[in-house]
A and B are shown apart, each in its own frame.
Chain A
Amino acid sequence: MFEKTIRGSQRYWGWLFFLLVLMGIGFGVYLYQFFEGLKITGMSRDVSWGFYIAQLTYLVGVAAGGVMVVLPYYLHDYKAFGRITILGEFLAIAAVIMCMLFVFVDLGQPTRVMNVIIHPTPNSILFWDMTVLSVYLLLNIVVGWNVLSAERKGIPYQKWVKVLAYVSIPWAFSIHTVTAFLYAGLPGRHYWLTAIMAARFLSSAFAAGPALLLLLCLIVRKVSRFDPGREAVRTLGGIVAYAFIINVFFFLLELFTAFYSQIPGHMHPIQFLFTGLEGHTYLVPWMWTAAAVAVVGLILLIVPATRRNEDTLVVGCVAVIVSTWIDKGLGLIIAGFTPNPFEGVTPYWPTLPEMLISIGVFATGFFILTVLYKMAIGIKEEAAGVS
């Protein structure tokens, strides 16, 4: 099936080449980090995780979000998603690989990464996170590959593939739950120590993942002859709307508990994010942008006329992606470390090398995604007899 990936337009090759350049830059800067140490990042003793781990968190959500097309199709036999489950699965593959790369580039001693397997430690959530992510990756590769080759041959896929597809559904929930547990079980980190963390993670994942998938579907429709179908796009829009409403609701619950109880530890990180703490206001514009964009997204997604209009739906989806990214890919980690254990504020901002490495990882993910999508679409076009 890979032969589908080596025949493409100039635009396709140009895009891949562009990604390769970014990957090369990222890799070069990573070598610099490898030899100099993580001091080239903005992280410090007090904010000891930063942009890398934040992207891991966000992308686990994207990976889990793919289940929002897999679930209706396999569990409810929702036919309209039949054409795009493969896109959800391949998005999950690319996202999980990015997650793993982000963990890897964050390690101080990357050459020892196998210690996690050599000395398995079941009481560590990181051990479980690596386990569930690896299994989820495998599930998606196996299911995606087999479904696609069956489609190519024009035969139904085997029974066991369907069993694995069923398994992948709760598994998607598990990857993001376990990722939330990385944070939600740490004593003394007030912003993270909340029982609703996993639920918040899932709701934002089920908004952002399908929103991204919806945009990808529209791009695919534009650049290829494969049409994901109006109904699929419309249903995705509805899923994004519901999940995002729940996500915003969960966040408001956090606000209530913090500010009605008036417990300083609960209020401080949120104050830091939205009003600044001890004069440190650098995240404030970001968080208010996220809030404003979230409101725009909510309106566009809730009002039926704008949700059904593809142009405004696209804007709504972009709004969801931007606001959940600021919330999870930026605010969550920094506010978890702020104030620090001594009630002080140590500012953190990613450095240029840190950004370039991150861009390199994103480029790697998009490279994999592009190649996989190219393959899937090639086969779908062939099956539909259009090529």
Chain B
Amino acid sequence: MGVNRREFLKIAGLSTLVGLGGKTAFELLAPGELEAREAPLGEAQKWGMVVDMHKMDEPLMDKCIEACHRFHNVPNIGTPKEEVKWLWKETYHHSFPGRENEYLTEEVEEMPFLLLCNHCTNPPCVRVCPTKATFKREDGIVIMDMHRCIGCRFCMAACPYGSRSFNWGDPRKAPEALNPGFPWNPDYPTRSMGVVEKCNFCAERLAKGQYPACVEAAAEEVEGALVFGDLADPESEPRAVLREHYTIRRKPELGTGPNVFYVI
């Protein structure tokens, strides 16, 4: 929660000082960055996301994945065994095991789904971590302190969604041919080997009032394919979508309270 709120208060305080409204202050501080979305993001109690599968197609998913992985310097290791991924595609069968039936529509049957960490309300990964290297912030984001992680991988055994990746080798030594120009984002740290990582809902972007990289990338093509906002706020965009559409979540029966929803 720390960074998020501190940053926000700093910006809010500044805007009061110069006698401007929140939004104007944001525009002054980060001009141009807000054009893709209507309003800057403020604080939240429970960040969440809705993936509208009607508006998604595979190239768009690839674009989102690329945006995420480039922003966070997630290299392509080249082997499935050592793969690191924050955002990825998976079939309906793999994404929602136990919910399949023999007579699914072709669309659902063939369409890949976009998967990421669900930033669970009751996250088992946080419960099992012996060092608090994985923790839940007050805004709902489940995040990692890579400097504290001992690499025991208990969290990987505990996450029922396969959302976590381990750096089996040194990610900085990922094959160059597959990762030209790595690291792509000098503002985001690369990881050392032996630690776990996963999607962090772009906490560092949220702190600046920006939308997550994937949401921004999707919005460049289709409005509302990825809807991000505060699930605790009834007026938020994701809540509006959830009111209007039937949505499903991955494995809700496990009681983890996933905060990523899918409109199908």
A→B interface (CB under 8 Å): 36-39, 41, 43-46, 48-49, 103, 106-110, 112-113, 115-116, 118-119, 121, 123-127, 130, 182-183, 186-189, 264-265, 336-337, 340-344, 346
Which has the most chain B C-beta neighbours within 10 Å: A49, A183, A346? A49
CB pair A186–B124 under 8 Å, yes or no, is: yes
* Bound CA span A106–B130, Å: 14
Nearest 3 A/B pairs, CB to CB: A108-B151, A188-B160, A108-B194
* Bound CA span A45–B162, Å: 8
- Residues of chain A within 8 A of B157, CB atoms compared: 48-49, 183, 186, 189, 336-337
Is B261 part of the contact surface with A, judged by Cβ < 8 Å? no
In this complex, what residue of B is CB-closest to A348? B81
Is B111 part of the contact surface with A, judged by Cβ < 8 Å? no
CB pair B81–A44 under 8 Å, yes or no, is: yes
Between-chain CB contacts (< 8 Å), 23 pairs: A38-B151, A38-B166, A38-B194, A44-B80, A44-B81, A45-B162, A48-B153, A106-B152, A107-B152, A109-B150, A109-B195, A110-B151, A119-B131, A121-B131, A126-B130, A126-B152, A182-B154, A186-B128, A188-B160, A189-B157, A265-B98, A341-B161, A344-B94
Is B249 part of the contact surface with A, judged by Cβ < 8 Å? no
- Residues of chain A within 8 A of B90, CB atoms compared: 342
CB pair A187–B160 under 8 Å, yes or no, is: yes
Question: Which B residues, 145 to 175, have Cβ-Cβ distances below 8 Å to chain A?
Answer: 148-154, 156-162, 165-170
* Bound CA span A121–B205, Å: 29
Is B70 part of the contact surface with A, judged by Cβ < 8 Å? no
CB pair A108–B195 under 8 Å, yes or no, is: yes
Contact with A along B213-235 (1 / 0, CB 8 A): 00000000000000000000000
CB pair B132–A121 under 8 Å, yes or no, is: yes
- A71 CB to nearest B CB, Å: 30
Which has the most chain A C-beta neighbours within 10 Å: B80, B170, B194? B194
Is B93 part of the contact surface with A, judged by Cβ < 8 Å? yes
- Give the residue of B80, B154, B159 whose beta carbon is less than 8 angstroms from that of A124: B154
Contact with A along B222-263 (1 / 0, CB 8 A): 000000000000000000000000000001001110000000
CB pair A188–B251 under 8 Å, yes or no, is: yes
- A115 CB to nearest B CB, Å: 4
- Residues of chain A within 8 A of B150, CB atoms compared: 107-110, 112-113, 115-116
- Residues of chain B within 8 A of A342, CB atoms compared: 90, 94-95, 97, 162
